[in-house]
Amino acid sequence: MKILLVNYEYKGQGGGAGQQMYYLARALRDFGHDVSLLIGWDDRLGVPELLDGANTHIVKHKRKNVQLSSPLGMLFFVIRGLWCIKRLTKKYQYDIIQFYFSVPTGLLKYGISSKVPYVVSLRGMDIPGLQKDRNKGLSALTSAVNRRVAQNAAAAISNSSESAKMYNIFAPDIPIMVIPNAVDYIEHKIKQNYSESITRFVTIGRLIPWKRIDLLIESVSILKEKYPDITLDIYGQGYQYESLQQHITKNKAQAYISLKGYVYKPQLQELLRDYDVFVFASIGDSCPNVLIEAMACGLPVLAARKGGAIDIVDEGVTGVFSVPDDLNDTINKMEHCINNPLKMKEYGLKGRKRVEESFSIDSVAGQHFELFKKIVGKQDRET
DSSP string, 301-314: EEEES-TTHHHH--
Q: Is the dihedral of CA 89, 94, 96, 99 positive or negative?
A: negative
How far apart, in whole angstroms, are the C-alpha atoms of residue 97 and residue 36? 9
How far apart, in whole angstroms, are the C-alpha atoms of residue 210 and residue 122? 18
How far apart, in whole angstroms, are the C-alpha atoms of residue 256 and residue 2? 52
The pLDDT score that the predictor gives to residue 132 is 59
Q: What is the mean pLDDT of residues 253-266?
A: 92
Predicted confidence band of residue 126 (pLDDT cuts 50, 70, 90): confident
The pLDDT score that the predictor gives to residue 160 is 93
Best CATH choice for the domain 2-182+360-382 from the list 3.40.50.2000, 3.40.50.300, 1.10.3720.10, 3.30.390.50: 3.40.50.2000
The pLDDT score that the predictor gives to residue 241 is 94
Question: Has residue 138 got a pLDDT over 60?
Answer: no
Which of 186, 185, 263, 230 is CA-nearest to residue 337? 230
How far apart, in whole angstroms, are the C-alpha atoms of residue 120 and residue 101? 7
Q: For the whole prediction, is pTM greater than 0.85? A: yes
Distances in Å between the alpha carbon of 182 and those of 30, 177, 290, 357, 378?
A: 16, 16, 11, 11, 27
CA angle (94, 95, 100) in 5-degree steps: 80
The pLDDT score that the predictor gives to residue 32 is 96
The pLDDT score that the predictor gives to residue 227 is 97
Identify which has the larger pLDDT, 263 or 25: 25
Q: Which amino acid is at 83?
A: W
Predicted confidence band of residue 144 (pLDDT cuts 50, 70, 90): confident
Domain residue spans of the chain: 2-182+360-382, 185-358
Question: Has residue 382 got a pLDDT over 60?
Answer: yes
Q: What is the mean pLDDT of residues 175-191?
A: 94
Question: Has residue 147 got a pLDDT over 60?
Answer: yes
Question: Has residue 136 got a pLDDT over 60?
Answer: no
CB 115 within 8 A of CB 85: no
Q: What is the mean pLDDT of residues 96-109?
A: 96
331-342 pLDDT tens trace = 999 999 999 999
The pLDDT score that the predictor gives to residue 320 is 98
CATH code linked to domain 185-358: 3.40.50.2000
CA angle (56, 290, 341) in 5-degree steps: 155
Predicted confidence band of residue 99 (pLDDT cuts 50, 70, 90): very high
How far apart, in whole angstroms, are the C-alpha atoms of residue 87 and residue 240? 40
The pLDDT score that the predictor gives to residue 141 is 66
Q: What percent of the chain has pLDDT over 90?
A: 82
Q: Cβ neighbours of residue 294 under 8 Å, at least 6 residues apart?
A: 202, 204, 272, 278, 280, 301, 351
3-state secondary structure of 185: helix
Predicted confidence band of residue 152 (pLDDT cuts 50, 70, 90): very high
Distances in Å between the alpha carbon of 59 and those of 9, 38, 98, 300?
A: 10, 7, 16, 39
Q: What percent of the chain has pLDDT over 70?
A: 97
CB 25 within 8 A of CB 297: no
Which of 59, 62, 64, 101 is CA-nearest to residue 80? 59
The pLDDT score that the predictor gives to residue 346 is 97
Q: Which amino acid is at 286?
A: S
3-state secondary structure of 30: helix
CA angle (46, 47, 51) in 5-degree steps: 145
The DSSP output letter for 89 is H
Domains 2-182+360-382 and 185-358 share a fold: yes
